[in-house]
Amino acid sequence: MRSEATRPRHTAAPTWRGGFGRLWSAAVVSRFGDALRGAALPLLAVELTDSALLVALVTACGFLPWLLFGLIGGAIADRVDQRRAMWVVDVLRGLLMAAFALAVWLDRAGIGLLLALAFALTALQTVFDNAATALLPAVVPAAALGTANGRLLAGQEAVHRFAGTPLVPVLVGAGAAVPYAVDAASYLLAAVLVAGLPHRSRPAAAERPRTPLRRDVADGLRTLWSDPVLRGVCAAAVVANTGFGALVATLVLHLTGWLGAGTTGYALALTAYGAGSVAGGMAAGRVAAALGTPRTLVCAGLAQTACLTAFGTVRSLPAAGAALAVLGLAGMIWTATEVTVLQRRSPAGAVGRVSAAFRTLSVSAVPLGAVLGGVLAGSLGRNTPALAAAVLIALGVLVLGPAARTGIN
C-alpha cells in the first residue's frame, strides 16, 4: 500500500483518450440496457403471475447473487485480465438477453425463466463490476480518480433516469420482446467498446503464485478489516445503506400516501432525485479537491441527514422535490468519493478482492433496511422510514469519524 506522502493531494480531470472514453461509454451503454431490463422485468412478472411473492423475488434476485458470489467475483477479477473479463461477461449477458427476448417473442417465457435470468445476470455482474473498479486506476492517473468515478456514476445515472426507464413504455408498445432485444444489443456494444481498450500489463504485485479462491476471498476481507480507513468507510456505508434500504422500499408509500403527491408527483420527485444525482457525480471530484476527502464525506453525510429530516417532516411536494434533489447530489458525491478511497488505498493487484468485500458488506444492508422500512411504515406511519434513514446516516457519519481523523485520501 502506498504511503500517505505518495498519495495524490489534488484532483485532475481524466482525458477522454487513452481508454477512459471507451470505458465510460461502455459503462453508460450497459447501464442504459440495465435500466430497460430493470423496468421491463417487473411489468412482465406481473403479467406472468398473480403471486406477490414471486414478483418480489424478481427484485430479490438482483441482490442475492451479490451475497452468494460477490466475494468470489472479486477474487476472479484480480486473477484475470480485467479488460477481457469485462467483455467476456458482457458477451455472455448479451447472449442470455437475446435468448430471453426470443423466448418472450415466442411466448415461451415463464416466471421461472424470468427469475433464473435475473439471478444469472446479477451473478455475472459480480465479476464485471469488480473488474471495472479494479481496471479504472489503470486507465486514468491517480490524481484523476475522483473526477473519473464521478463522471462514470453521473453518466450511468443520467441514462438510467432520463433515457432507459422512460423509454420502456414506448418499447413495450412496439412489442413485449423489444426492451430485452435492445438490452442484448447494449451488452454486445459495451463488449466491443471494452475489448477495444488498450491492453495494459498487470502490476507486478498481481503476478503472484496462484492460490485457492477461498484464500483470495479471505485476503480481501482481511485487507478491508486491517486498514482503519477502509474499515471505517465500509462500516459507515453499511449503516447508511440500511437507512437507504428503508427509504427506497417505502418511497412510493411516502410520496403517494403520506404526501398525497399522486403518480405525477411521484414521477417528478424521482426526476428531481435523478437530476441531483447527475449533478453530484459531475461535481464530486471538484468538491473532494476543494474540501479534502474526510470533510467531503462528512459534509455529504450531514447534508443527506438534513434532507431526509425535511423530507420526513414537511408535507409539501416542492419541498420534497428539493430535498430529494439535494439528497441525490450529496449521495452521489459520497459514493464517488467512497469508491475513490477504496481504489487508492487497496494494494496493487487486490482492488477487485477489496472492492468485492466492500460491496458485499454494504449491499447486504439494503434488504435489511427494506424490511425495517416496511415495519416502520406499517406500524408508526409512512413518513417514519425517511426519518429513520436520517438517523442511520447520521450514525454513519459518527462511525466515519475515527477513520476521518486518521487521514482519508
CA distance 352 to 77: 6
Query: Does residue 9 surpass a pLDDT of 50?
Result: no
Same-domain pairing of 158 and 221: no
Same-domain pairing of 171 and 247: no
The one-letter code for the residue type at 338 is: E
Same-domain pairing of 14 and 51: yes
Query: Does residue 18 surpass a pLDDT of 70?
Result: no
CA distance 39 to 48: 15
CA distance 2 to 347: 8
Same-domain pairing of 84 and 27: yes
Over residues 335-357, the pLDDT tens digits come to 999 988 888 888 877 888 888 88
More confident residue, 241 or 252: 241
Same-domain pairing of 194 and 269: no
Q: What's the whole-number mean pLDDT along residues 3-31?
A: 68
Between 103-107, 154-158, 207-211, 289-293, the lowest mean confidence (pLDDT) is in 207-211
More confident residue, 181 or 353: 181
CB within 8 A of 243, min separation 6: which ones?
308, 369, 388, 389, 390, 391, 392, 393, 396
Could you report how far apart the first and last alpha carbons of the chain are, in Å? Answer: 12
Q: What confidence score (pLDDT) does residue 8 get? A: 45
Same-domain pairing of 271 and 139: no
Q: Which domain holds residue 380?
A: 216-406
Q: What confidence score (pLDDT) does residue 142 get? A: 79
The candidate with the shortest Cα–Cα distance to 165, out of 28, 327, 34, is 34
pTM exceeding 0.85 = no
Q: What confidence score (pLDDT) does residue 359 get? A: 84
Q: What confidence score (pLDDT) does residue 56 get? A: 62
Provide the grid cell at 56. 418480489
- Out of 125-134, 241-250, 301-310, 367-376, the most confident range is 301-310
Whether 135 maps to a domain, the answer reads yes
Provide the grid cell at 11. 484532483
Query: Does residue 7 surpass a pLDDT of 60?
Result: no
Same-domain pairing of 139 and 287: no
Query: Does residue 3 surpass a pLDDT of 50?
Result: no
User: What single-letter DSSP state applies at residue 17?
Assistant: T
End residue of a domain, out of 137, 168, 198: 198
CA distance 308 to 386: 6
- Out of 92-101, 158-167, 375-384, the most confident range is 92-101
Torsion, CA 143, CA 145, CA 151, CA 153, rounded to 10: -160
The candidate with the shortest Cα–Cα distance to 181, out of 242, 99, 299, is 99
Same-domain pairing of 190 and 326: no
324 pLDDT tier (thresholds 50, 70, 90): very high
Q: What confidence score (pLDDT) does residue 52 get? A: 60
CATH classification at residue 17: 1.20.1250.20
More confident residue, 6 or 95: 95
- HSE (CB half, 13 Å, CA atoms) of 231? 9
CA distance 73 to 134: 12
The percent helix, strand, coil of the chain (3-state, each to 5) is: 85, 0, 15
Same-domain pairing of 256 and 379: yes
DSSP string, 358-370: HHHHHHHHHHHHH
End residue of a domain, out of 198, 233, 263: 198
CA distance 186 to 189: 5
Query: Does residue 59 surpass a pLDDT of 70?
Result: no
More confident residue, 207 or 242: 242
Q: What confidence score (pLDDT) does residue 206 get? A: 46
Whether 207 maps to a domain, the answer reads no
Same-domain pairing of 158 and 43: yes
End residue of a domain, out of 137, 169, 198: 198
Q: What's the whole-number mean pLDDT along residues 308-321?
A: 93
Q: What confidence score (pLDDT) does residue 204 get? A: 44
Q: What confidence score (pLDDT) does residue 377 get? A: 84
CB of 145 within 8 A of CB of 91? Answer: no
Torsion, CA 184, CA 189, CA 191, CA 195, rounded to 10: 170
Q: What confidence score (pLDDT) does residue 12 get? A: 62
Query: Does residue 208 surpass a pLDDT of 70?
Result: no
Whether 373 maps to a domain, the answer reads yes
Query: Does residue 5 surpass a pLDDT of 70?
Result: no
Whether 204 maps to a domain, the answer reads no
Percent of the chain with pLDDT over 90: 27
Between 31-40, 44-53, 89-98, the lowest mean confidence (pLDDT) is in 44-53
- Run of H or E residues at 297: helix 293-313
Average pLDDT along the chain: 83
Give the Å distances, CA to CA, from 376 to 300, 314, 327, 380, 385. 25, 18, 21, 5, 6
CA distance 20 to 198: 10
Q: In the chain, what is the greatest distance between 2 CA atoms, to the nearest angstrom? A: 61
Q: Number of H helices and number of E strands within the chain? A: 15, 0
Same-domain pairing of 117 and 266: no
CA distance 344 to 15: 19
Whether 208 maps to a domain, the answer reads no
Q: What confidence score (pLDDT) does residue 4 get? A: 38
Q: What confidence score (pLDDT) does residue 293 get? A: 86
Whether 206 maps to a domain, the answer reads no
Whether 346 maps to a domain, the answer reads yes
DSSP string, 131-188: HHHHHHHHHS-GGGHHHHHHHHHHHHHHHIIIIIHHHHHHHHHH-TTHHHHHHHHHHH
Q: What confidence score (pLDDT) does residue 333 get? A: 94
Query: Does residue 162 surpass a pLDDT of 80?
Result: yes
CA distance 154 to 276: 10
Percent of the chain with pLDDT over 70: 89
CB of 321 within 8 A of CB of 272? Answer: yes
Whether 1 maps to a domain, the answer reads no
Looking at the 3D structure of the chain, how many domains does it have?
2
Q: What's the whole-number mean pLDDT along residues 87-101?
A: 94
CB atoms inside a 10 Å sphere around CB 393: 32
Over residues 242-288, the pLDDT tens digits come to 998 888 878 878 888 888 887 778 778 888 998 999 999 889 888 98
